[in-house]
Amino acid sequence: MNLKETLQEINTQIDRLAYRPEPIELYEPIRYLMNLGGKRMRPLLTVLGAYLFTDDWRKAIFPAIGVEVFHNFTLMHDDIMDNAPLRRGKATVHEKWNENIAILSGDVMLVQAYELMLAVEDKHLRSIIQKFNICAAEVCEGQQLDMNFENYPTVSEQTYIEMIRRKTAVLLGFSLELGGIIGGADEKNAHLLKEFGQNIGIGFQLKDDLLDVYGAAEKFGKQVGGDIIANKKTFLLISALEKAKGNTLNLLNEWLAKTNFDKIEKVKVITDIYNQLNIKQLTEDKINQYFELAFQQLDQIVAETSRKQVLGDFIQMLRERES
């Protein structure tokens, strides 16, 4: 399988998605958001999951696009909740149109995701829809937990990991499980794919936490230190609050309590605290822990080694990214 050609085929089919002709205000925002691009990681994982077990992996294309449509639906609504002005460097839908249109267009995207899932064989349809429903509910639960954390004075590492598992990782797990089922995987292999996907999803989110502080601005694609400025309870901050003592803890809490501050100074001071507490290495160790567990699960999947290598190489490439 050629990943570049597969990605091109996915994008071509996304460009060809049919929408009802009117009202234009309902459907144009969907075209706009879907055309903003992105890594298309989730549909690629679905196709790769199918490729592990069948040469006829193209039958996974439309369900895979259903996963991508659902992902973008969540982004459209998340942007409203976060009051985010930009998505992939362009105006968010609620900024370009308005919040009501963004809500309604997002609702249609959810319907469209289900419509695309209907492309699976009838013998798999009920099981896949049930698994998709569980996944979709968990994504919403994760988003609610993330919002709840804004009002919590502290969050434990375990609670944080469970939040990112639901908000981010379960959809990667479902993407792979979906592909595996379409490709003919048995229940055990499909479950291993799901667990593999969830663990890489946690690893990817922890990597995002790390890049927000230690990434290069020109590669990361957004403001470095944004999580620090917003007092976002990431793995790094949670770990620092657990490790810091005495004057270091006092200084950290002092900056977290400030409402008026110089952003550059705050990022520098808290990054210095992270460095003092060796938080970067701690985070890298945690990232490696989840990826190592994931690759152990990939090893257990009964499929051709060469096909598993394609999936493993793709994940490793994403793992080493700097943006």
Q: Indicate whether 222 pLDDT > 60.
A: no
pLDDT of residue 322: 67
Output the six-digit token pair for 80.
């409203």
pLDDT of residue 88: 85
pLDDT, tens only, 170-212: 999 999 999 999 999 999 999 999 999 999 999 999 999 999 9
Q: Indicate whether 40 pLDDT > 50.
A: yes
- DSSP at 168: I
The residues that bridge with 91 in the sheet, in sequence order, are 86
Say which residues have a Cβ less than 8 Å from residue 287's Cβ, sequence separation at least 6.
203, 206, 207, 210
Say which residues have a Cβ less than 8 Å from residue 222's Cβ, sequence separation at least 6.
none
Mean pLDDT of the chain: 95
Asked if the bond preceding 23 is cis, omega within 30° of 0, the reply is: yes
DSSP per-residue string spanning 296-309: HHHHHS-S-HHHHH
**Which of 318 and 188 is assigned the larger pLDDT?**
188
3-state class (DSSP) for residue 86: strand
Dihedral class, residue 2 (left if φ above 0, else alpha if ψ from -120 to 50, else beta): beta
Burial of 284 (0-12, 13-18, 19+ CB in 10 A): middle
Give the relative orientation of helices 170-183 and 122-149 as an angle to the nearest 10 degrees: 170
Per the listing, tokens 């991508």 go with 68
CATH class in words for 3-319: mainly alpha
Q: How far apart are CA 125 and CA 132, in angstroms?
A: 10
